[in-house]
Amino acid sequence: MYRDNSLVPKEAIRLATLGFLAEGDRSYGDLAAEVRAFASRIVGPSLDLLGTSIELLRFEGLIEAVGGRGMEDNAVLRLTDRGRVALREYLSSTIRPGVSDLNKLVLALKLRFIDMLDVDERREQIGQLDAMYRGEKARLEDLRAHDELDGGFLAAWLDMEIDQVDRRIAWTRDLAK
């Protein structure tokens, strides 16, 4: 994790892997395909993100093979107790401000697996999301308030961004209800 308790790219893929296994055991090949497909739909194909090995998670004791050895025999994999602890840690991480492919992936994964947290933890995650969006809005409004932005299309773009953030804030408030 980064110092601000947000996930680095490989941890986003670990979150996906552990989250899918928390829903049920899967064969090595099916799990790898599901993680790759989900991540690719959000950020497109990325060697940086897909470099995390499922075998490493097995070696670390976060997942285990059932009735097989792993990749070489396409064993069925399941989440261990240590894996459940790691999954909760990843789900409780913060999301970095700003829009990036990694942030979109982490947000999508957290929302996909948020039901694995208890009600109070879910509220906390939605609250963090709301606070992040409010901070983003303040930053955009500060930038918009400067007179030197009068030329070109920057002001119109900032208005559009502020409108999108307002909708995100309304969405998080609806989720919190």
The boundaries of every CATH 1.10.10.10 domain in the chain are: 1-116
Q: Write down the CATH number for the domain with range 118-177.
A: 1.20.1280.20
Q: What is the pLDDT of residues 70-113, one digit of tens each?
A: 778 888 999 999 999 999 999 998 887 766 788 889 999 999 99
Q: Write down the CATH number for the domain with range 1-116.
A: 1.10.10.10
State the pTM of this model. 0.86
What type of residue is 159?
D
Provide CB contacts within 8 A for 143, sequence distance 6+: 149, 158
- Residue 88 exposed, middle or buried by CB count within 10 Å (0-12, 13-18, 19+): middle
The boundaries of every CATH 1.20.1280.20 domain in the chain are: 118-177
Question: What's the gap between Cα 138 and its chain centre?
Answer: 23
